[in-house]
Amino acid sequence: MTARGHRRVAAAAVLLFLLALAATGCGGGDGARADGGAPGAGTIGTAAVLPVAERPSAPDTAGRDLAGRDLALRSYRGKVVVLNVWGSWCAPCRSEAADLEALRSAAAPRGVELLGVNVRDRSTGPAREFERTHGLRYPSIHDPDGMLLLDFPPALLNPQAIPSTLVIDRQGRIAVAVSGPVTRAQLEPLVDRVAGENG
């Protein structure tokens, strides 16, 4: 087995452990909430905001976008990246799509880019229709099997939690992790915080 294969097996084992903890009511952690509310309040999942010294590097995620062009996270280095995991079949993804596009437009002058990872859509047709319907102007990597998600720390990006959103700082480190749908009003202050950092 390759080193990548070993990492994926280890990530899957950790994920199963975390899911087991969640099922027994022991998971969840005490990360800061983007909406300032108690866990379970509002429409947003738990948002973990990581101190700079504790931020892991994001994996070198790469693939083909929904139009078949090569796309890689590393090409965004020096920008703040809002990475959103979504599927055309996902009702909460539909509810957050317009807010994410509005955030993309508003935050671009601050050096912020949006990048999607489209999962569990076997073909690109439904995903491209989703983009047209919701007016999405940012690209998405097509990941039909969700394998790219296994390269991320499972405590920050649960492959079973769709939608999920990460904010990656200019040095390519994961700064914020949100599990569940998010609105622009909830996400933009976190993005602005990361965009305003000096290093």
Please say if the pLDDT value at position 39 is more than 80: no
C-alpha–C-alpha distance, residues 164 and 176, integer Å: 11
Please say if the pLDDT value at position 8 is more than 70: no
User: Which two tokens mark 101?
Assistant: 């596009």
45-73: pLDDT as tens digits: 678 899 999 999 999 999 999 999 999 99
C-alpha–C-alpha distance, residues 143 and 124, integer Å: 10
Per-residue pLDDT, averaged over 110-115, amounts to: 98
143-179: pLDDT as tens digits: 999 999 999 999 999 999 999 999 999 999 999 999 9
pLDDT confidence band for 198 (50 / 70 / 90) = confident
Query: What's the mean pLDDT when you consider all of the chain?
Result: 83
Return the half-sphere exposure (C-beta side, CA atoms, 13 A cut-off) of residue 100: 31
Please answer whether residues 118 and 88 qualify as being in contact, where contact means their C-beta atoms are separated by less than 8 angstroms: yes
C-alpha–C-alpha distance, residues 114 and 25, integer Å: 33
The percent of residues above 90 in pLDDT, for the chain, comes to: 75
C-alpha–C-alpha distance, residues 134 and 131, integer Å: 5
Residue extents of the structural domains in the chain? 30-195
Q: Which residues contact 121 (CB under 8 A, 6 or more apart)?
A: 87, 88, 89, 127, 142, 144
What would be the CATH architecture of the domain defined by 30-195?
3-Layer(aba) Sandwich (3.40)
Residue 109 or 47, more confident: 109
Look-up: residue for tokens 């590097």?
57
User: Which two tokens mark 152?
Assistant: 């991320």
CA angle 9/10/12 to nearest 5° reads 65
Please say if the pLDDT value at position 182 is more than 70: yes
12-31: pLDDT as tens digits: 333 333 333 233 222 333 33
pLDDT in the model for residue 2: 52
R_g of the chain computed on alpha carbons = 16
Please answer whether residues 27 and 21 qualify as being in contact, where contact means their C-beta atoms are separated by less than 8 angstroms: yes
pLDDT in the model for residue 11: 40
Q: Which residues contact 171 (CB under 8 A, 6 or more apart)?
A: 77, 199
Angle between helices 124-134 and 91-107 (to 10 degrees): 60
- Residues linked to residue 174 through DSSP beta bridges, in sequence order: 168
pLDDT confidence band for 137 (50 / 70 / 90) = very high
